[in-house]
């Protein structure tokens, strides 16, 4: 899994960095549920599938955990279409999330 969960000591807030592949989503989801089913901040270091696809799988769930903010610097969709022969769907899912900053 290409991801990290950080639980703050004093306030017990959960911060997630990346998350891993789509196949890692169920394990990550269980970790989030174990810690209150809420993520205060989710940071994406870069948009490769092995870092972001667990998050996109979780966002596609019918009842995803509460995520306050997703922080990422993603390429513009026009850039992706121009430079990627098969543009990845995960970028579009992230950019349309209401938590995305």
Name the residue ranges covered by the structural domains of the chain: 3-95
Percent of the chain scored above 70 by pLDDT?
A: 84
**Within 13 Å, how many C-alpha atoms sit on residue 52's CB side?**
20
pTM: 0.82
Confidence of residue 68 (pLDDT cuts 50, 70, 90): very high
Going by C-beta distance under 8 Å and a sequence separation of 6 or more, which residues neighbour residue 37?
A: 65, 66
Task: Check residue 85 and give its pLDDT.
Answer: 67
Q: Average of pLDDT values for 41-57?
A: 90
């Amino acid at each position: 899994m290409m991801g990290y969960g950080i639980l703050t000591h004093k306030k017990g807030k959960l911060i997630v960095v990346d998350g891993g592949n789509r196949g890692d989503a169920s394990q990550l989801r269980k970790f989030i549920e174990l810690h209150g089913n809420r993520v205060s901040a989710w940071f994406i270091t870069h948009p490769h599938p092995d870092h972001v696809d667990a998050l996109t799988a979780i966002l596609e769930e019918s009842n995803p955990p509460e995520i306050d903010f997703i922080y990422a610097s993603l390429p513009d969709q026009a850039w992706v279409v121009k430079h990627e022969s098969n543009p990845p769907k995960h970028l579009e899912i992230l950019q349309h999330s209401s938590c995305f900053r």
